[in-house]
Structure 1
Amino acid sequence: MKVRRVVTTHNNESKAVFASDGPPSRIVEFKHVPGMSAALLWETSASTVVGGEVNDPAPKATSWVPPAGGTNFMIVVFPPDSVMASASFDPVAAGGEYVEKLPGLAEKFEMDAPGMHRTDTVDYGLVLDGEVHLELDNGQIKKLEKHDVVVQNGTRHAWRNPGAKPATVLFVLVGSRRVS
């Protein structure tokens, strides 16, 4: 995945300056799910402040799912579902790779319902390229195309790509509290 991330901050005179310009520090490419990649672009906590020194939070992030009041900004490339349906696909190896590379998120996926998961977040998703289908746990499916937006309110869901090309989606996850 090729992504350019430009980050701003303030200098000692409180003037806006560029802090960095280049690839994000946390991009993961998956060996056991060919064509899948993800980039954690930035993260904030409930106590994040602006105006001070800016340090890249992505390398130290312990979870791809933010806590209540925090945010995670990411891009995910979903390969076609046919990748997971091929005879050479090893779901055990893929699952281990998810746990290693997507801590905090991988644990939300259900073993008995592949792809299904739920997080305590409000997710803003924007399809940047391709098509992806959002499947809810009641069986309803919506096809999303380039520039379609979804607001995912902590519901149980799965992302599917029945097409022949990868789909690229930008997500902002906003950590929330779940009501009973």
Structure 2
Amino acid sequence: MDQQQTTFRRIVTGHDVDHKSIIVSDAPPAFTQLIGGPGGPTFFEMWHTMETPALIHPQPDDLDETKLVLAPPKNGTRIRVIEFPPEGNEIKSLTGITAAEKFKTMGAENAFNSSEEGAPHSLMHRTKTVDYGIVLEGEIIMILDREETTIKAGDIVIQNGTNHAWANRSGKICRMAFVLIDGQFTF
């Protein structure tokens, strides 16, 4: 199984004192976190905004989050890349309590909901967000309450606050970019 991480860059632009465009930083993502230990996904936090419309600062910098937070800020956005390793026994054998703990570490204990009898996956969850998920590399199964589908490199998912989970059954790393937009349910 190919589980080697490849490095990518996060390039942030801004403005100098004359309001001319410049590169403020060009480096790997500043904050990464492996969730759940070996066999779990690695989150690469890229950027987030605190409001909409987003405030554009001349010299943007990383905001003050010091831990992984699943959802975007209230009225804000978040972009991240997640590398999903092939799903192994670590994920398949999760209990409801253990899975709930993993969501709690991301401040998302309210998103977790796979403790129901007959849930299609142990990591089913739902957030009050509209998410754009783009498969950059590999393939992954998107699991919903009533169906599932394989999405591959180049495919884009628009997730509208739906209950879901991700399962990598391919034997190779799947890398996805996600843009999360704070939302509000109408039902």
* Superposition TM-score tier, normalisation by shorter sequence: 0.7 to 0.9
Helix, strand or coil at the partner of 1:84 = helix
What letter corresponds to residue 110 of structure 1 in structure 2? N
Q: Hey, what's the Cα distance between the residues in 2 that align with 1:20 and 1:53?
A: 10
Structure 2 counterpart of 1:104, from 94, 102, 107: 107
- The answer as to 2:157 corresponding to 1:150 is yes
Q: Is the 8 A contact 2:72 2:182 kept in 1?
A: yes
Q: Is the 8 A contact 2:48 2:76 kept in 1?
A: yes
Deviation of 1:160 (Å) = 1.2
Q: Is the 8 A contact 1:68 1:177 kept in 2?
A: no
Q: Is the 8 A contact 1:42 1:58 kept in 2?
A: no
Deviation of 1:83 (Å) = 4.2
- Bigger helix fraction: 1
What letter corresponds to residue 24 of structure 1 in structure 2? P
Q: Quote the RMSD (CA, aligned, Å).
A: 2.4
Structure 2 counterpart of 1:130, from 111, 135, 138: 138
Q: Hey, what's the Cα distance between the residues in 1 that align with 2:142 and 2:64?
A: 27
Q: Is the 8 A contact 1:25 1:59 kept in 2?
A: no
Deviation of 1:4 (Å) = 1.1
When residues 154 and 30 of structure 1 are mapped into structure 2, their CA distance, relative to the original with a 3 A threshold, is closer
What letter corresponds to residue 124 of structure 1 in structure 2? Y
Q: Is the 8 A contact 1:32 1:94 kept in 2?
A: no
Q: Is the 8 A contact 1:109 1:116 kept in 2?
A: yes
- In the alignment, which residue of structure 2 is the partner of 1:52? 58
Q: Hey, what's the Cα distance between the residues in 2 that align with 1:58 and 1:27?
A: 15
Instruction: Give the number of equivalent residue pairs.
Output: 175
Deviation of 1:26 (Å) = 1.0
When residues 61 and 11 of structure 1 are mapped into structure 2, their CA distance, relative to the original with a 3 A threshold, is farther
When residues 9 and 78 of structure 1 are mapped into structure 2, their CA distance, relative to the original with a 3 A threshold, is same
Where does structure 2 lack aligned partners over 5 or more consecutive residues?
none
When residues 74 and 85 of structure 1 are mapped into structure 2, their CA distance, relative to the original with a 3 A threshold, is closer
Deviation of 1:82 (Å) = 2.1
When residues 85 and 44 of structure 1 are mapped into structure 2, their CA distance, relative to the original with a 3 A threshold, is closer
Q: Where in structure 2 are the equivalents of 1:4-19 lying within 5 Å? A: 4-19=9-24
**Once the two structures are aligned, what percentage of the paired residues are identical?**
31
Deviation of 1:99 (Å) = 3.2
When residues 20 and 151 of structure 1 are mapped into structure 2, their CA distance, relative to the original with a 3 A threshold, is same
Where does structure 1 lack aligned partners over 5 or more consecutive residues?
none
